[in-house]
Amino acid sequence: MGNSNSSQKISAQDRLHQYQRRITVLTDRETEIAKECLARNDRRRALLALRRKKYQQSLLEKTDGQLAQLEQLTGQVEFALVQKDVLFGLQQGTKVLQTINKEMGGIEGVERLMGETEEARAYQEEVSQMLAGHLTNQDEDEVEDELEALQRELAGPEILPDDVVFPSPPTAEMPVEESVPELTQGTKAKAETRTALPAQ
């Protein structure tokens, strides 16, 4: 709907531009005719050609005014279409927000959820305090151990308990057997450049 009006304005604009070009050609031709008539000493026809030129120039000015109005109208139509699209977008956004608020229960729903969360936290704290008063230190230690065991079980076999003892590396030097030939200066350098692979 809006696009057809805009295209009609654009085609009218094109027709006005064509009309302007035609009038410009005619005014130039009238000037040439007036010069030719003056060259033949025909003052009356030269005056008539200049009058036609003046009339066509007035038409050209009117065409310029109409063209300016048409361009202004085209701009207004295009701006109105943009406003319409923006308004439609705002309406859609408002509907989406209303739907989201309805699903969330509005501000009251959020406040209720926050209240329920606070109540649950307070209840958990109350239960913890009540149980803390009835458990001995030994019971508390057993609960902690059980919690750690559950964590290890959930984590899988990668996590080793803290009480696993690994063997320590030897501290004494290894005895050197005499059957091993003594390294020369060149072979020592080669042996030093070799790197040991890391243990995996």
How confident is the model over 148-190, as pLDDT tens digits?
A: 888 888 887 665 556 667 777 778 777 666 555 555 565 555 5
Q: Are 78 and 42 in contact (CB under 8 A)?
A: no
Q: Please list, in sequence order, all residues whose beta carbon lies within 8 angstroms of the beta carbon of residue 24, skipping any fewer than 6 positions away.
A: 60
Same domain membership, residue 112 and residue 66: no
Same domain membership, residue 16 and residue 74: yes
Same domain membership, residue 68 and residue 18: yes
* 130 located within any domain: yes
**pLDDT reported for residue 166:** 75
* 167 located within any domain: no
* 166 located within any domain: no
* 123 located within any domain: yes
Domain limits for position 49: 9-78
Domain count along the chain: 2
**pLDDT reported for residue 1:** 45
* 14 located within any domain: yes
Same domain membership, residue 69 and residue 117: no
Q: Which residue has the tokens 């450049």?
A: 193
